[in-house]
Amino acid sequence: MHTILFACVHNAGRSQMAAAFFNQLADPTRARALSAGTDPGARVHPEVLSVMREVGLDLADARPQRLTDALARQSQLLVTMGCGDTCPDVPGLALDDWPLDDPKGQPPERVRQIRDEVRTRVESLLHTRNWQREAVVR
């Protein structure tokens, strides 16, 4: 089982979207995602809740959490999204950085663009690592 940690500053937008898409699309026997922030917010941004509901993902119960060294050590890959120098440096932990805009305070059409870019990046990561769910044949 591989654990991927998505991290941004407030853990209230990009990283929450990425973890939600990852856990929806990944084979749960091969990989799972967590998300955290270097300076966690009080809640997921309302604009993020709204655009994620549009694609059938409800983040109403998601709670931002602090990105700690201990949390990072549980993971095999840390994907950062704007936390810069405040992200932990954990020896042996693979690191990738996705330069994505913060959706906080953005108009709905921009938040949708960010959401769709997050999904595309998650799909690419899953495909590259062969962690996607198998298609259901009916």
- pLDDT reported for residue 69: 83
Domain range 2-129, CATH architecture = 3-Layer(aba) Sandwich (3.40)
Please, is 37 exposed, middle or buried when counting C-beta atoms within 10 Å of its C-beta (0-12, 13-18, 19+)? buried
- pLDDT reported for residue 90: 72
With a threshold of 0.85, does the pTM exceed it? yes
- pLDDT reported for residue 70: 86
- pLDDT reported for residue 82: 77
Token digits of residue 99: 């330069």
Which residues in the chain land under pLDDT 70? 84-89, 135-138
Query: What is the distance between the alpha carbons of residues 96 and 128, in angstroms, rounded to a whole number?
Result: 13
The secondary element (H helix, E strand) that includes residue 8 is strand 2-8
> Could you tell me how many helices (H) and strands (E) the chain has, helices first?
4, 4
- pLDDT reported for residue 48: 96
Please, is 32 exposed, middle or buried when counting C-beta atoms within 10 Å of its C-beta (0-12, 13-18, 19+)? middle
- pLDDT reported for residue 100: 92
- pLDDT reported for residue 138: 52
